[in-house]
Amino acid sequence: MTNIEFNIKYINYLKNGTSGIDITHNKIIKYLDKEFTKEIKINPSFMFSQIKIKLGTTRIYTNSNKNRDWEEVIDCVYLNL
Burial class (CB in 10 A: 0-12, 13-18, 19+), 47: middle
Number of domains the chain contains = 1
The per-residue pLDDT string of the chain (81 residues; one tens digit each, 9 = 90 and over) reads 999 999 999 999 999 999 999 999 999 999 999 999 999 999 999 999 999 999 989 999 999 999 999 999 999 988 786
Residues spanned by the domain of 66: 3-78
Q: Is the pTM of this model over 0.85?
A: yes
